Structure 1
């Protein structure tokens, strides 16, 4: 028989029973016993724990095979047992594990609530600390490239501008157009009742340019580009590419984080302007269908209904939201541990945190600019 054939013959475990003895041979491992497990279980049930058990011919024994034997012996050592020292250690380890009782589920107490709250607070403070460290590193990188203009990562910035800006234009335009149609349709239904059809321009202009446009684009970018940034950095962490860059003396923040922050900060105001324009177009289409409002009147009335300060507020929101989304995405991407579970968890946390942060900052903008750009 060839060596390969001998290996194949040795793979499966076997059990030879006599009235007074039980002789085991072969490999007693999960992989080897899988195909013949039902037959071996029947043989083990027929064997007696008081018989003379011989395991000296067993080539390999893992925890699965040891557990199978331990259960067949009734969770006690046979009276007569001969085996190799290495196999005895495996059986002793299984025996100790079987003697250890399973932990009982404890009742949730107020102390547990305090512990859970404290753990959440400590985790939050760790996130805040790492985020502040990231901000400081970005500031230092900006100072460095301002002092050394030849070190600007122009190639990385342009690549990110294309990915997060140009490629996002179709989806933002589609969603913006549909949101404009829906908002205009619902508003026109109410305005018809009071005969205030002309005020549709005011509702669409202020709602889309000042609030809905920047927030809508931010949510889309956080879900599309923010998750992609986190996943990219996370995969580089899993594949140890970031460690390789550090070993070569390449700044991770300068080459990976700073281009994303700059690109998203530049692109977001343009995306807000693009999406708001398409949304207003969709709103006019719905108003034209429902209220017979002409495009000429819509365009002429829009500057009077919406002061130009609202455009500046919307664009400034876009820039701030873009920088915030990029920072949050990079923060969670750099926190990924070298395993796929951490990658998925941090990507999800990145999107949720970015959207939540955008809504909170938008509320602060609304409070800070409550008296700016509102027609008297």
Structure 2
């Protein structure tokens, strides 16, 4: 191994530089002069690509990417004019150039510009909306195709998603619903006892749980549990190139991936809403009996009169809407994930946040539109 060195010859005001030795990572590390050599090359008069200095690599024995990068940086990302270099050495520099077409120039970090930030966010939001509308349109066509030939539909995928999204979520929804019912009943009991209106706890619990809390609570739980799982599943398919393989084989992403999940959530969510309502009312009855001495028989007998049945159907209908929203948002972000792990984590997080936001916005819109139903 020969130590890397520079041999400089000056004649008639012009400089000729011949690089000698082995310009490899091992040779540069052992000599300990990598930085000094780079600065010496950079400090030569006219050492740039358009300078008058003549360079020769004829004396270089071995050259690897580390040594070539050191020279490349000293030459400001361009080979000097008239350089004497072998074909193999030129190929090494060509590979470096292909990695960084911009010539290894430092990127200038732009200062914070609120106008640019607002414009970029607006364009990103518009792109997301266009993509979402396109997905809804494709889902509509897939649904018509499924209705026209149901025997060719993805029944196995729909059944599997109903099991994983609906059945496996019974435990967590039951636990959270029961605890929310207890908390709401305890808080209401303290206030109602003050005004001597303990019997109205049935009205408060029934209306709050069946009309609002049950659907929203179940939707938030499913968005965090199943929505993230859907995004991660499709994202992993992107990382492992399964989505590309499906496209090559002519298998529709919408018909085999999106539609089964949307239909599964549209079927599972009303059932989960009803299950969450039941467990929340059970927890409320238990707390009402403990705090106010109201029996379960009186609670169940009074509940149908206190809460019109239209509220139940309204809550179940909201479950269908929430379920379809969660599935569409989860599939949308899953398909937008890029084939790397960072994008997978970011996309899953964005999917959960967007799903919960969409559910709350949809609940507010439905509450305003149907404010006179069941009241």
Whole-angstrom distance in 2 between the partners of 1:255 and 1:159: 12
Is the contact between residue 246 and residue 253 of structure 2 (CA under 8 Å) also seen in structure 1?
Answer: yes
Report what 1:4 is aligned to.
none
Question: Could you say which residue in structure 2 is the equivalent of 1:15?
Answer: 3
How far, CA to CA, are the matches of 2:157 and 2:38 in structure 1?
70
CA contact (8 A) 1:321 1:358 kept: yes
Which consecutive unaligned segments of at least 5 residues does structure 1 have? 1-12, 74-80
TM-score, L = length of structure 2: 0.79
Aligned mates of 1:70, 1:247 — CA distance in 2: 42
Matches of 1:101 and 1:148 in 2, distance apart?
A: 59
Q: 1:23 and 1:249, CA in 2 relative to 1: closer, same or farther beyond 3 A?
A: closer
Q: Give the match for residue 103 of structure 1.
A: 108
Match of 1:5 in 2: none
Say which of 27, 32, 36 aligns to 1:41. Answer: 32
* Aligned: 1:339 with 2:337: no
Any idea what SS the aligned residue of 2:174 has? helix
Matched with 2:182 is 181
Residue matched to 2:159: 158
Q: How many Å apart are 1:84 and its aligned residue?
A: 5.6
- The answer on whether the counterparts of 1:180 and 1:282 sit within 8 Å (CA) in structure 2 is yes
Q: For residues 178 and 341 of structure 2, what CA distance do their matches in structure 1 show?
A: 37
325 and 46 in structure 1: CA distance in 2 versus 1, 3 angstrom threshold: closer
CA–CA distance in 2 between the matches of 1:194 and 1:317?
34
Distance 1:55 1:191, change over 3 A: farther
Q: In the superposition, relative to structure 1, how do residues 342 and 45 fare at CA in structure 2: closer, same or farther (>3 Å)? A: closer
SS at match of 2:32: helix
Partner Cα separation in structure 2 for residue 17 and residue 126 of structure 1? 55
1:149-298 maps to which residues of 2 (within 5 A)?
149-298=150-299
Paired with 2:251 and 2:106, the residues of 1 have a C-alpha distance of 52
Paired residue for 2:48? none
Q: Is the 8 A contact 1:22 1:47 kept in 2?
A: no
In structure 1, what is the Cα distance between the partners aligned to 2:38 and 2:348?
54
Superposition deviation, residue 67 in structure 1: 5.7
State the 1:106 CA deviation.
3.5
Aligned residues: 346
Distance 1:240 1:301, change over 3 A: same
Is 2:145 the counterpart of 1:144? yes
- Determine whether 1:59 maps to 2:62: yes
> CA contact under 8 A between 1:28 and 1:58: conserved in structure 2?
no
Query: For each residue in 1:290-341, what CA deviation from the matched residue of structure 2 results, as whole angstroms up to 9, or x when unmatched?
Result: 2222111111121121111110111000011101111111111122222222
Q: CA deviation at 1:42?
A: 6.5
Task: Provide the C-alpha distance between the structure 2 equivalents of 1:206 and 1:68, rounded to a whole number of angstroms.
Answer: 73
Summarize deviations over 1:268-311 as a string: whole Å, max 9, x none: 00000001100111112222222222111111121121111110
Secondary structure of 1:59's counterpart equals strand
Q: 1:309 to 1:97 in 2, by over 3 A?
A: same
Sort the Cα spacing of 1:251 and 1:293 in 2 relative to 1 into closer, same or farther, 3 A: same
The Cα RMSD (Å) is 3.6
Q: Is the 8 A contact 1:230 1:329 kept in 2?
A: yes
- CA shift digits 1:331-360 (9 cap, x unpaired): 111222222222222222211111111111
